[in-house]
Amino acid sequence: MKGILQTEVLEVDTGVSPGELLGTEAVKKASSLLQRGELVAFPTETVYGLGANALDERAVRGIFAAKDRPEDNPLIVHVYSREELNRLTRGTVPSAVRQLTARFWPGPLTVILPRSDEVPGVICAGLDTVAVRMPSHPVARAILTRSGLPVAAPSANKSGLPSPTRAEHVLADMEGSIPLILDGGECPIGVESTVLDMTSEIPKILRPGGISASRLREALGRDAEIERCYDVTPEDNLPRSPGMKYRHYAPSARLELLEEGSPEEIWKYAGRQRAHSALLVSKATGQSIAESEDVAVYSDPERGADQHIKPVIIGSEENMQEIAHNLFTYLRSLDDEGRKLIMVEAINEEGLGEAIMNRLRKAATEIISLDPSPEK
């Protein structure tokens, strides 16, 4: 990883059969690089990952160097089969984990279990646990299968920035730091996997993601208990999962998360802010603002992008998948436009909305309540 590398971007046709995908030159090259201890960026169903051979400590350290990632922030290991859990974890895999993986693997669920001696401590930030998942994206599965390796793969971005959902996002952050990016198109989910700690009697969600708490509970049984723990405890300050300790997912612009406000209050607040800002809102709020008599700026492109607030509809709350899919892409595109302030309307936290709000709170420079009640 010394010096400036020439970063190659290879497009991969995800429409071919799994067998044909395995034989493509792009997958062959990616697998070979991983086997040689190099880094490769590739798409998953959640976001693009920056992969290295999980059993090669030198290669894994290359991930931290390329991302400028703190070494106390653990990584997730991606596997091509459920049987790999037996290799990477210590002891018997609990029946509850087998239930969950039978239901949600391949897919956006990460489970945390005691780690085996074969897993380098650098992956787990020195902890005695390891986080494992089986991705469903055809390109990720092809690379894992052809290389025959478990692959450590955090998001393929500089640490703290919005996660990449397109190959162009990876190139913007990683050009010159890694040899290869596989372009498999836009990631369908757009937010990272759910991380579930299965080392205690009651499972704990450490990071909400593509699988909601209600779906997990349904898989485990109607009466199953699941706890939530999204931040490190003051006692140990050690993150057991990515996304717990540091500010993550943040654009370069100042990000203000607007909570408890009506469409009118949101637009009134936005109108008091400096020019060259942006406002991300739900479809319903955007339509309400557009129909108001007080928002000529909203529909007046003649004033120019640097003279007015840019309202952007991120999606409908009736389709949280749409909002999740757009979130990181929109944050990056507004950064690219040079917006200095991005205001984001808080959304309903049911289902996938919980993961979206988790990302926004982690990214926010400030959380602002627009509730006009005297108590606030």
Residues of the chain with pLDDT under 70: 1-3, 232-238, 243-247, 274-275, 292-308, 372-376
Give me the amino acid identity at 303.
R
pLDDT at position 173 is 96
Q: Tell which residue, 134, 147, 137, has the closest CA to residue 105.
A: 134
DSSP E strand stretches across the chain: 8-11, 40-43, 48-53, 76-78, 109-114, 129-133, 151-152, 180-183, 194-197, 204-207, 227-228, 254-259, 277-282, 310-315, 341-345, 366-369
Q: Tell which residue, 77, 123, 96, has the closest CA to residue 200.
A: 96
pLDDT at position 306 is 43
Q: Tell which residue, 85, 161, 143, has the closest CA to residue 118.
A: 85
pLDDT at position 301 is 44
Question: HEC states along 3-21?
Answer: CCCCCEEEECCCCCCHHHH
The answer, yes or no, to whether the previous bond of 106 is cis (omega within 30 of 0) is yes
**Distance of alpha carbon 342 from alpha carbon 3, whole angstroms:** 35
pLDDT at position 1 is 40
Alpha-helical segments (H) within 250-319:
263-271, 283-291
Cα angle 104, 166, 335; round to 5: 120
